[in-house]
């Protein structure tokens, strides 16, 4: 593709295939997934410019729910309307549902499987490298002046050292951006800190100055329609859940969807309290095992809800003792559906307003400040992964450190694709289990 020419719009089939592929390789939590989308959609395919990508990311960061999945939905919606948003958002999650359900069934049936443990052992350090690389790539574009760099540092200190909840960090950043824009407007101008997509990677299909498509413009009738469809769909699915356990799961997880500010880690205590203590769907040990599986399978980390639903429906024998697999998958599906339903509504309802205010500094400046803080939060997440993965049983895991360093060098120095890094790391981990 000529870097000076605007890329051709992909067919819907090409669009579909990309998101399906991403659904199978989206390791690394939100930071890794956002990095993958940025590398592929902004830099390589140039479907969307740097500025439009980060503006969408800013919006998803202030929403409850998984920001990477909502970003995928937003970009899909911007390109192909509602059908594009549904395809991107659903395919971002669907492979994870099937993979995690399969691994949960293996976990419940056979316990620890050496092959699975080996692959995950190799992938975990690579995930740490991917998250660090994401912080570098996003930070190098978003932190174009000292004020934004200071915001990133303050965000890191707040979440790492002071344990300030993520929602408070986001709200504080938005407030700082709103106030500072009146006195230092140049600091928060979109072109200033987002970078010029044309100069960075070449013209994009959805470029900085591309007009808002008709389907992305605000219409009151469309807003009301989405509200009605969302509510009716939720009520309709709940009405089919005649089993009390599945009904309780639907009710519980749709509540959880509205309190997931700050990502999956912020909502885990709520899920733990409900799943373990209130309903008894699983044990505390199983909850920790589920988190480990969720961290090392593709898809949003919040997909740990599928593990909780699967184990809970199996333990409670919702379809009888002879239909455990069916029960487990039903529980996982209910948990996933009600966790992600609000995410689609947030994009379809709020997207037109976000697009309409893209050039308005009083709206864009708070979101720009949020992006700066996100860089600090991503670095914190990388350190969290590093400590959990590279320091096991009170001793340093030198093999894991070596895998992480090699993965980072491959990404940073040799520009190896994230999918290749994940695959090779998994192969290394498998080899260590069988031959190490």
Q: What is the CA radius of gyration of the chain?
A: 21
Mean pLDDT, each 10-residue run in order, the chain (436 residues): 80 97 82 85 93 88 86 97 97 94 87 70 81 77 84 91 81 88 74 46 90 93 96 96 95 86 64 89 83 76 92 94 92 96 95 86 79 79 76 85 93 84 88 83
- The verdict on residue 285 lying in a domain is yes
Q: Are 343 and 337 within 8 A, CB to CB? A: no
Output the pLDDT for position 192.
Answer: 43
Residues 6+ apart with CB under 8 A from 194: 50, 51, 54, 55, 141, 142, 368
Q: Is residue 331 part of a domain?
A: yes
Note whether residue 208 is domain-resident: no
Q: Which domain holds residue 310?
A: 220-341
**The total number of residues written for the chain in this structure:** 436
Alpha helices in 2-113 (DSSP H): 12-25, 29-37, 50-61, 67-110
In order of 32, 70, 102, the CA distances from 65 in angstroms are 17, 8, 24
307 part of a folded domain = yes
Structure-token match 């690389």, residue found: 133
List Cβ neighbours of 28 (8 Å cut-off, separation of 6 or more): 35, 36, 127, 130, 131, 134, 418
Q: Is the C-alpha dihedral spanning 63, 69, 73, 75 positive or negative?
A: positive
Per-residue pLDDT at 261: 60
In a domain, 231, yes or no: yes
Q: Which pLDDT belongs to residue 200?
A: 67
Interacting residues of 435 by C-beta distance below 8 A, sequence separation 6+:
none
Q: Tell me if 348 is assigned to some domain.
A: no
Asked whether the beta carbons of 255 and 342 are under 8 A apart, the reply is no
> Which residues have CB under 8 Å from 326's CB, separation 6+?
319
The set of residues, in sequence order, having a beta carbon less than 8 Å from that of 394 and lying 6+ positions away, is: none
Q: How far apart are CA 314 and CA 236, in angstroms?
A: 24
**Residue 239 forms part of a structural domain:** yes
**DSSP label of 43:** I
Residue 395 sits at φ, ψ, to 5 deg, of: -150, 155
Report CA torsion sign: 348, 352, 358, 363.
negative
Which residues does residue 48 pair with via DSSP β-bridges, in sequence order?
A: 206
Q: Is residue 68 part of a domain?
A: no
Count of CA atoms in the C-beta half-sphere (13 A) of 174: 14
């Amino acid at each position: 593709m000529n870097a000076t020419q605007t890329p051709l719009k992909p067919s819907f089939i090409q669009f579909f295939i990309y998101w399906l592929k991403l659904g199978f390789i989206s390791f690394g939590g939100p930071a890794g997934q956002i990095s993958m989308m940025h590398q592929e959609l902004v830099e390589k395919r140039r479907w969307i410019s740097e500025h439009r990508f980060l503006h969408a990311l800013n919006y998803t960061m202030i929403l409850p729910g998984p920001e990477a999945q909502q970003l995928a939905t937003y970009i899909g919606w911007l390109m192909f309307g509602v059908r594009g948003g549904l395809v991107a958002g659903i395919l971002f999650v669907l492979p994870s549902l099937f993979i995690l359900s399969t691994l949960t069934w293996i976990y419940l049936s056979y316990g620890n499987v050496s092959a699975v443990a080996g692959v995950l052992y190799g992938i975990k350090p690579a995930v740490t490298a991917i998250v660090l690389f994401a912080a570098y790539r996003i930070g190098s574009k978003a932190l174009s002046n000292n004020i934004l760099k200071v915001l990133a540092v303050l965000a890191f200190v707040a979440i790492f050292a002071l344990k300030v909840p993520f929602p408070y960090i986001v709200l504080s950043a938005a407030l700082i951006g709103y106030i500072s824009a009146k006195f230092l407007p140049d600091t928060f101008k979109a072109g200033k800190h987002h970078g010029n997509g044309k100069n960075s990677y070449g013209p994009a299909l959805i470029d900085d100055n591309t007009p808002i498509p008709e389907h992305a413009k605000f219409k009151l009738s469309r807003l009301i329609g989405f509200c009605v469809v969302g509510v009716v769909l939720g009520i309709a699915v709940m009405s089919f859940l005649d089993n009390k356990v599945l009904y309780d799961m639907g009710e519980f997880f749709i509540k959880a969807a509205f309190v997931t500010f700050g990502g999956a880690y912020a909502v885990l205590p709520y899920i733990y309290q409900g799943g373990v203590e209130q309903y008894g769907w699983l044990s505390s040990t199983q909850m920790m095992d589920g988190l480990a599986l969720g961290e090392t399978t593709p898809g949003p980390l919040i997909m740990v809800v599928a593990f909780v639903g699967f184990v809970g429906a199996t333990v409670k024998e919702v379809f009888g003792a002879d239909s455990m697999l069916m029960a487990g998958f039903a529980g996982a599906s209910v948990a996933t559906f009600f966790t992600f339903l609000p995410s689609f509504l947030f994009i379809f309802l709020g997207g037109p307003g976000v697009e309409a205010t893209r050039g308005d500094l009083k709206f864009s400046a708070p979101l720009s400040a949020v992006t700066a803080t996100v860089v600090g939060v991503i670095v914190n997440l990388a350190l969290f992964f590093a400590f959990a993965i590279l320091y096991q049983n009170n001793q340093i895991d030198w093999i894991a450190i070596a895998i992480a360093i090699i993965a980072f060098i491959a990404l940073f120095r040799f520009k190896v694709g994230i999918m290749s890094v994940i695959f090779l790391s998994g192969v290394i981990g498998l080899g260590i289990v069988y031959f190490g």
